[in-house]
Amino acid sequence: MDELDPFDPNIEQKLDQMDLQYEQETGKPAFIEDIVTTWGAPCRQMTCPIYIRVNKAVQKAYLYQNGRQIDTWLVSTGIAGRGTPNFEGRPNGRIYDRYTSTKYPEGDYKGLGNMPYAVFYNGGFAIHGTTTGNIKRLGTRASHGCVRVHPDNGYTFNRLVRQYGISNVWISIYE
């Protein structure tokens, strides 16, 4: 499969193909079942059990759990011409532990491809881990539109989304 291009007008068809391939290769579903644990009004931003704020201006992400900041991470957002769009909302449910781009192979992280622990939030845009060779680029604009994080942080976020469900997670991406 060619490189995932979140700007591609046919992204949904390509994602459907990726889902099928992922499910065939791993035996796991490409989408997580949602777990609704909040009561009353739906959560938004800091009222969600899991909230991540990505500040593109400083290339950092701030992770909150139950209203308390638990971590700050360096990120890489989109380069000029492939900028990461602003976003407010929940993950879309598509979540992979491994994915490999064939167009930009740039290595493999422990057998999980070059986009490990991807949590998709808008079409082909995802928050995902990066490869060992790109860890040094975190803190600078270096991606093709996604939000790259250290693979350990990608794992943490991926597992929190799986644990809490998409209804209890909010993502804010802004300049």
Distances (CA, A) of 84 to 35, 47, 57, 79: 28, 24, 11, 8
Set 43, 48, 144, 146: catalytic member: 146
Average pLDDT over residues 46-56: 97
**CATH number of the structural domain 10-33+43-173:** 2.40.440.10
pLDDT in tens, 104-118: 656 778 778 788 999
The structural domains of the chain, with segments of one domain joined by +, span 10-33+43-173
pLDDT of 77-131, one tens digit each? 999 999 999 999 999 999 999 877 665 656 778 778 788 999 999 998 999 999 8
pLDDT of residue 1: 38
Supply the pLDDT for residue 2.
43
Average pLDDT, the chain: 89
Indicate which residue of 43, 48, 128, 144 is catalytic. 128
Select the more confidently predicted residue: 67 or 2: 67
**Least confidently predicted of 14-18, 49-53, 106-110, 142-146:** 106-110
Instruction: Tell how strand 95-96 and strand 118-122 pair up.
Output: antiparallel
Does residue 150 have an active-site annotation? no
146 given a catalytic annotation = yes
Q: In percent, how much of the chain has pLDDT > 90?
A: 62
